[in-house]
Amino acid sequence: MNKISFNYSKLLLPGILLAILVVLATLPLYGSNYSIVLLTSIIMYVILTVSWALFSGSTGYISLATAAFFGVGIYTSAILGRTFTASILANEYFVVFIVIIGGLISACLAFIVGAITLRLRGIYFAIFTFGLVELIKNLLLWYEVKFTGTRGRFVVVIGNETIYYVILGILLLLLLVTYFIRRSRYGLALESIGEHEEAAAHIGINVTMVKVIIFAISAVFVGMTGSIMAMRWTYIDPYISFDPNLTFLPVLMAIFGGTRQMYGPIIGAVVFAYLEEILLTRFPYYYMLIFGIVLAATILYLPNGLVGVVQKIIARLAGGKHAHSRG
Amino acid sequence: MHILEGERVTKYFGGLAAVSEVSFQVDPGEVVGLIGPNGAGKTTLFNLISASLVPNSGVIRFKGKNITGMAPYHICRMGIGRTFQTVKIFPNLSVMENVRIGALFGCGGRISATEATRKAEELLEFVGLPQVSSTPAGSLTFANQKKLEVARALATQPEVLLLDEIMAGLNQTEIGQAMELVNRIRQSGVTIVMIEHVMKAIMNICDRIMVLHHGRKIAEGTPSEIAKSETVIEIYLGEANAAG
Amino acid sequence: MLTSILDVLIAGLLLGGLYALIAMGLSLQYGVARVFNISHGEFIMLGGMATLTLFTVFKINPLIAIVICGPITFVLGYIIHRTFFRHLLTSLPIFGEITILCTLFLWTVFRILADYNYVRLNQFAALAICLVIAIILDFALNRTAFRRIHESRVAAGVFESTSMLFSFGLMFIIKNIAFIGWGPSIRSYSFLQQPVSIAGALFGMNRLVTLGFSILIGLAFYFFLTRTRIGKAIRAAASDPTVAQLMGVNINQVLALCFGLGAAMAGIAGVLISMCYPVNANMGIEYTIIAIIVVALGGLGSIPGSFIGGFALGIIGSIVSFFEPGLALVAYYFIFGLLLLIRPKGILGK
């Protein structure tokens, strides 16, 4: 019974995923401009949430640095965009180039942070990453006031459709990378670290290295997303770029969805990103308040998130049928 | 040449010496027993060898090479496997994956996924756990979790295997099975160092026994020598009798 | 030159007193109750904003506000620990938590619907209705679904991460209630601002009052821990919860007490902060970061370490600000990073 339902879901999920991707890819052909903007923002949250869960979901090391990597991406994009003129930017390959650079710089930052903190207990990692976004914000503010004399800078803006396709590309890449990491020996290593780090080290896993590298990989996608999203705003400054909420929201979304499965964070992100779209502009504080309440309730009552509940119900239904057929 | 040796190995916790100036040699193919009362420093010595802890002074050599201060994963890949006093399997991974992961990461070189699976199946069979390979490891019985941990350690292809109380908490039948397993591991050519409180097992299996007390090595010899030693009877067996 | 050095040092001490107070509260919550409380700064914000309201609306002296805000934040922290964190610790739902969460949720939904004009109801009536529904739900769940759940202590490592994530949720809840109540504007009031001269340098009276109170509370707390029965129970619980329980310490009570005391210290720190600096509903996170760095600097969970670490960081901050005003936080971080590389245990860590 167990085996049958396993195979079934194995076929079903990639199928659904493929169908969704086809719809998403063709959306600009028939969708409204609003739907593209809305989906861009939802996809952004999905990327941030899935990247967070890629590392933190399996290892249990709670990263609070998402906003920092995102901000680094934004600034990379702003600086490079200014350096090259708008005419070059019209070339879409160049946009992709900037996005890749943004991702790589974020990964370097993650690598350094990981090398300092991931040798230590998880709590130090959480503490260190918690303040990272404020640190970079403060450094940039100081630099801008002292050396350029102005706060913030203008970004070269490109079309919504280009942004949409690039961000969809990042999402696709992320999902592929996550899928293959989870299936590979490194995915197994990550899970073993989450379950018993000491035992993992004693069966030959270079635990620090695995953690640092996967953390850096997860930062690539956050940085890339920051780089492309920057091109949607005309003006950015350290306060806009390094918004701590972009750390908190993905964590909450992932936990709400459930981190044990790959699609848990996706569902969490879609639900809340959509809710944000409805509520944020009119009720910013109520939206955040609901967020806090839902997070609190999830941690208290649904330790495996929404997906955990669904799985439990499915297991119970399947188990019930099984018992019935046997009886 | 000794396969594993320690020279005046010392470890302090705060001001207390948990292991004090302990020297030891293990020859290839031997089964060495490590006994002593609780708190004698046996597990600490294992932790020092497998690099969970770094000694304050002293040198540990493996096949003549100084391995003091190396990282745990490195020690494992060189050929020293271990189990833990309190079972540390990966409860949410399947039984199969628990062993496969040892095979994938524990050997020095790279090994393909199919090869790792094949080896894991072989080892599960070897320790007597073949039929349960897809269930999560956390749902196994205690005795089977201990077997699984041995299989996982063996998957890393150790030349020396450190077994930390694999028989504690087992019933008489299970102890018999475990003893038989240790013998088979030895026949496969792996050198074994084992901490054990089950005297029957120690006396039957080991070629040589070391006795630790308050972090010092107070005696060493064949099982029959140890059984006759006045000091050992006094501090160790005497205590066991008093307790029992 | 000499006066400017003295200037910087005294300013550092004044800042350090606040840091020490904030960090001691967090240290108590982490060291004993094992909650790495990310919402710590929100209690500071509550203290600050409440004092501002008391002063500007009710004309209540901020020094008296200490006596009001301290106990209120204490009770708040105590209740939060007795319900939510105890649930996370023992995996047993506790009557009251659904009431709190559900009331908040329903009230939020009501406010949103009211804004769209779907519902027309007096606010207080609505709140009462929400409360009644929540209590009924709480009661029903506790009589049915929750009855089958058995108490089981959660592993320390698991509790450390779930409690930290929960404090996240708490941060969102408290902060946004404050935003709804007080709005986002940055406000300040003037109180005891007459200058006092120390060794030629001029300082506001309010700054000196805050330093005095920080030291006073620090010392009072030290004596509370070392001399009183409850204090000894707290220390026993901090070093070994299981043994403390065997010795007859009501561990749940002590943990809740510690969490409450930590929250009270944050609340009082908030009162003191509002005397010197402008406050707003968004101020919490900045102080949380500082508290976290001080706590790590002093050694995770070491209360004397936090006290010393607070003053150390205050003086460093003051020196750095003297040369480059924008770089204080960057300097704290730099020290933090260095600490993690050299001595992760912190100054007084074991």
Identity of the residue in B71, B91, B105 whose CB atom sits nearest the CB atom of A203? B105
Residue C171 pLDDT class (50, 70, 90 cuts): very high
pLDDT tens for A123-164 read 888 888 988 888 899 899 888 888 877 777 887 778 888 889
Put simply, the answer to whether A289 touches C285 (Cβ < 8 Å) is no
Supply B235's token pair.
Answer: 């501090």
The CA distance from A170 to the nearest CA of chain C, in Å, is 28
- C38 contacts A286? CB cut-off 8 A: no
Residue A7: per-residue pLDDT: 57
Largest CA distance in chain B: 54
In chain C, the percentage of residues whose pLDDT exceeds 70 is 96
Query: Could you tell me which residues come within 8 angstroms of residue B65 by beta carbon, excluding any fewer than 6 positions away?
Result: B78
Mutation site, B43, B46, B50, B73, interface A, largest A CB count within 10 A: B73
Chain A residues with beta carbon closer than 8 angstroms to that of C175: 288, 292
What's the average model confidence in pLDDT over C145-164?
Answer: 79
- Predicted confidence band of residue A82 (pLDDT cuts 50, 70, 90): confident
Closest CA to B217 of B229, B207, B206: B229
CA trace torsion C159, C165, C169, C170 (10° rounding) = 50
CA distance C299 to C314: 17
CB-CB under 8 Å, B113 with A205 = no
* B238 vs A3, residue with greater confidence: B238
CA R_g for chain C: 22
ipTM: 0.87
**Contact check, Cβ <8 Å, A124/C344:** yes
Interface of B with A (CB under 8 A): 50, 52, 71-74, 76-77, 81-82, 84, 88-93, 97, 100-102, 104-107, 113, 152-153, 155-156
- Does A289 contact C at CB distance below 8 Å? yes
- How buried is residue A22: exposed, middle or buried, by Cβ count under 10 Å (0-12/13-18/19+)? exposed
Separation CA A87–CA C14 (nearest Å):
55
Which of the two residues, B237 and C162, has the higher pLDDT score? C162
Between CA A36 and CA A18 the distance in angstroms is 19
Q: Is B216 exposed, middle or buried (0-12, 13-18, 19+ CB in 10 A)?
A: middle
Q: Give dist(CA A161, CA A301) in Å, integer.
A: 41
Residue A321 pLDDT exceeds 60: no
Query: Is the CB of residue A137 less than 8 Å from the CB of residue A238?
Result: yes
Neighbours of A326 (CB within 10 A): 7
Provide the pLDDT confidence category of residue A9 given band limits of 50, 70 and 90: low
Tell me the domain boundaries of chain C.
2-86+160-342, 93-149
The residue in chain C having the minimum alpha-carbon distance to the alpha carbon of residue A243 is C285
- DSSP, residue by residue, C295-317: HHHH-TT-HHHHHHHHHHHHHHH
Instruction: Measure Cα distances from A229 to A108, A127, A226 in Å.
Output: 20, 27, 5
Mean pLDDT of chain A: 85
A186/chain B closest Cα distance in angstroms: 9
Q: Choose the closest CB to B52 out of A196, A198, A200.
A: A198
Buried b (16+ CB within 10 A) or exposed e, B145-158: bbbbbbbbbbbbbb
- C66-95 mean pLDDT: 90
**In sequence order, what are the residues at sequence separation of 6 or more whose Cβ sits closer than 8 angstroms to the Cβ of residue C130?**
C102, C103, C106, C107, C110
Instruction: Please report the pLDDT score of residue A128 as a whole number.
Output: 87
Contact A46, A270 (CB under 8 A): yes
| Residues in chain C closer than 8 A to A130 (CB atoms) | 38, 288-289, 292
Residue C80: the pLDDT is 94
Q: From B88, which residue of chain A is nearest by alpha-carbon distance? A: A199
pLDDT at A325 over 50: no
- The domains of chain A are located at 2-326
**Closest residue, chain A, to C346 (C-alpha):** A124
Lowest mean pLDDT among A78-92, B102-116, B130-144, C84-98: A78-92
Number of inter-chain CB pairs under 8 A, A vs B: 70
Look at residue C89 in the predicted model and tell me its pLDDT.
86
Residues 6+ apart with CB under 8 A from B161: B80, B81, B82, B153, B154, B185, B190, B191, B192, B193
Residue A280 vs residue A216, higher pLDDT: A216
8 Å CB contact between C307 and C298: yes
pLDDT above 90 coverage of chain A, percent: 33
Q: Report whether A157 contacts A81 (CB < 8 A).
A: no
pLDDT of residue A3: 45
Query: pLDDT class for C243, splitting at 50, 70, 90?
Result: confident
The confidence score (pLDDT) of residue A319 equals 66
Name residues 172-231 of chain A within 8 A of C (Cβ): none
Question: From the candidates A288, A298, A302, A309, which should be mutated to test the interface with C, based on the most C CB atoms within 10 A?
Answer: A288
A-chain residue closest to B134, CA distance: A3
Residue C68 has a pLDDT of 92
A167 has which bridge partners? none
Which residue(s) pair with B208 in the sheet? B32
Q: Which residues pair with C187 in a beta bridge?
A: C279
The secondary structure of residue C83, as a DSSP letter, is I
Nearest to B73 among A188, A191, A207 (CB): A207
3-state secondary structure (DSSP) of residue B218: strand
How far is Cα A116 from Cα A111, in angstroms, rounded to an integer? Answer: 9
Six token digits for residue C71: 């106990």
Measured between alpha carbons, how far is A166 from C305 in angstroms, rounded to an integer? 50
For the domain C2-86+160-342, what is the CATH code?
Answer: 1.10.3470
**């459930």: which residue's tokens?**
A258
Distance, in Å, from the CA atom of A289 to the CA atom of C305, rounded to the nearest integer, reads 35
Of residues A30 and A289, the one with the higher pLDDT is A289
Nearest-CA residue of chain A relative to B84? A199
Residue B65 bridge partners (DSSP): B62
Q: Report the alpha-carbon distance of residue A175 to residue A252 in Å, rounded.
A: 20
Q: Is the pLDDT of residue C52 over 50?
A: yes
SS3 C97: helix
List CB contacts (< 8 A) between C160 and chain A.
Answer: 122-123
Residue numbers in chain B where pLDDT is lower than 50: 242-244
For testing contact with chain A, the best of B52, B78, B88, B164 (most A CBs within 10 A) = B88
Domains of chain B: which residue ranges?
1-76+191-244
Domain made up of B1-76+191-244: CATH architecture: 3-Layer(aba) Sandwich (3.40)
Q: How many CB atoms lie within 10 A of CB B65?
A: 9
Rounded-to-integer distance, Cα C259 and Cα C30, Å = 9
For C143-171, what is the mean pLDDT?
82
Rounded to a whole number of angstroms, the distance from the CA of A14 to the nearest CA of chain C is 31
Residue A124, SS3 per DSSP:
helix
- Identify how many contiguous H helices and E strands chain C contains and give both numbers: 14, 2
* A192, A201, A204: residue with CB nearest B90: A192
- Give C19's contacts (C-beta < 8 A, 6+ positions apart): C290, C291, C294, C309, C310, C311, C313, C314, C317
Determine which of B136-150, C95-109, C149-163, C265-279 has the lowest per-residue pLDDT on average.
C149-163
pLDDT at C106 over 80: yes
Inter-chain Cβ pairs, chain A and chain C, closer than 8 A: 133
Contacts of A206 in chain B (CB under 8 A): 71, 73-74
Contact A202 B76 (CB under 8 A): yes
CB contact under 8 A, C340 and A128: yes
**Least confident span in A37-46, A256-265, B88-97, C229-238:** C229-238
Chain B residues whose beta carbon lies within 8 Å of the beta carbon of residue A185: 101, 104-105, 113
